[in-house]
Amino acid sequence: MKLYLSTKPPIDEVGGFTIDLGATYRLPEIGILDGSFFVSPFAKVYENSYAVGVDRVETDTSKFGAKIGLMTTYMAPFNFKNWSTTALVILSKGESNINFFDTEAVTIGGFINYRF
């Protein structure tokens, strides 16, 4: 179980103080499963961030959501000594009281590693 208090946005959205509660679980023979829930209770944004020539109005916004990810590593692919490959998939969804800041994301990554 892990608890984070940070100012880094949990998903691709505006910053602010964030409370992130999650857990990491090792799945034997598969990889690592990581999940978390987050809330940004004190964020402020501009109501119309693209307005020009007028005073912009700040408004409170609340954001909350969840993300889950799976990472797996395969050691010595094709019998290559000191090499490994890693695959990563992350699904995330964030909701806000301002529709513009609602998010849904899928992140897919692949890595090839060499140990010296």
DSSP letter for each residue of 50-72: T--SS---EEEEEEEEEEEEEEE
pLDDT of residue 70: 92
Alpha-carbon span 72 to 54, nearest angstrom: 51
pLDDT of residue 89: 93
Helix/strand/coil for 101: helix
Give CA 18 to chain center in angstroms.
Answer: 12
- The answer for 53, left when phi > 0, alpha when psi is -120 to 50, beta otherwise, is left
| pTM for the full predicted model | 0.65
Please say if the pLDDT value at position 91 is more than 80. Answer: yes
pLDDT of residue 14: 53
The lowest-confidence range among 10-24, 31-45, 78-92 is 10-24
Give CA 8 to chain center in angstroms.
Answer: 10
pLDDT of residue 46: 63
pLDDT of residue 87: 94
Alpha-carbon span 39 to 100, nearest angstrom: 17
pLDDT of residue 85: 93
